[in-house]
Amino acid sequence: MTLNRKWAVSVFVVLFALILAPTFSAAEEAPPIKCLQIGLEPHGTANVWAEALAAIEANYPSVQITAVTSENLEALRYENLKQYDVLHVVQMKVENGDPPDFVKEGILQFLKEGGGLVVNHFAVANCQNWRDSIDIFGAMWVSGKSTHDPYHTFRMDIVDEAHPILEGVTPFTTDDELYFNLLMRPDMHVIMTADQERFGHTVPEPLLCTHYVHNARCVYFALGHDPKSCSNPMFPKIVVRSIEWAAKRR
């Protein structure tokens, strides 16, 4: 190889490295996803989320969760929500299943502006008189129709193994309430299910699903009844992966 050719190759390598360096640096220095979680104690049970939040803080630096109580509806004003990348709804304490207008407007504006949404467990029962909540949350608990078997052990099965939320997730057994007969959007993309026995036949119930509101990514994850449910190692992993996907980091 001639001296000029060696020089040209060296210059090319240096330029290529300089071009790629900002890309690698940006990926390495991506700030944590800022997530607002409303609700700490579903069904009024104390310390339900304590272990899961501790596990997320210790093991998943990609996500930074700020958790507030279910009564703190002021946190759902758009002026506050716009500070975050993702809203995580565990429980909202609202009168007569109908949130104040500023909550509805805040959540919808947040999603219109590109924020992500993750909804857990019984949150879909908090807003039964907010008609639009079925389209926003993806599912709704309907009193007198929706129900669940007694709390028991069951297996979570994978439907869409290629989905980014399921990276590192395997089928697992958990102790929880298995919801069924929820009202759900017909376009929900089902990622995980659990089998429910009904009158001699088996029905795979959708327990982890995704959908879109405008261009916002949204997730409904039906698990999370009590501390034991939330202490399963797969639980915080799915919550984090859902937040990452909703934030368009996956």
C-alpha 181/C-alpha 56 separation (Å) is 31
- φ, ψ of residue 174 to 5 degrees: the values are -145, 165
**Res 1: pLDDT:** 54
Q: How far apart are the first and last CA of the chain?
A: 44
Q: Which residues of the chain have pLDDT under 50?
A: 3, 6-27
User: 41 with 70: CB under 8 angstroms?
Assistant: yes
Q: Are strands 179-180 and 147-148 parallel, antiparallel or unpaired?
A: antiparallel
Alpha carbons within 13 angstroms on the beta-carbon side of residue 250 total: 21
User: 132 with 104: CB under 8 angstroms?
Assistant: yes
Q: Which residues contact 132 (CB under 8 A, 6 or more apart)?
A: 104, 108
C-alpha 11/C-alpha 148 separation (Å) is 66
Tokens representing residue 90 in the block = 């565990």
Listing DSSP states for 199-246 in one string gives TTEEEEEEEEEEEEETTEEEEEE----SHHHHHSTHHHHHHHHHHHHH
Q: Which residues contact 99 (CB under 8 A, 6 or more apart)?
A: 73, 76, 92, 127, 130
Q: Are strands 216-221 and 201-213 parallel, antiparallel or unpaired?
A: antiparallel
C-alpha 101/C-alpha 113 separation (Å) is 18
**Res 214: pLDDT:** 94
**Domain coordinates of the chain in residue numbers?**
1-30, 33-246
pLDDT tens for 89-102 read 999 999 999 999 99
160-to-11, 53, 104, 126 alpha-carbon distances in Å:
46, 26, 31, 29
Q: In CATH, what is the architecture of 33-246?
A: 3-Layer(aba) Sandwich (3.40)
**Res 123: pLDDT:** 94
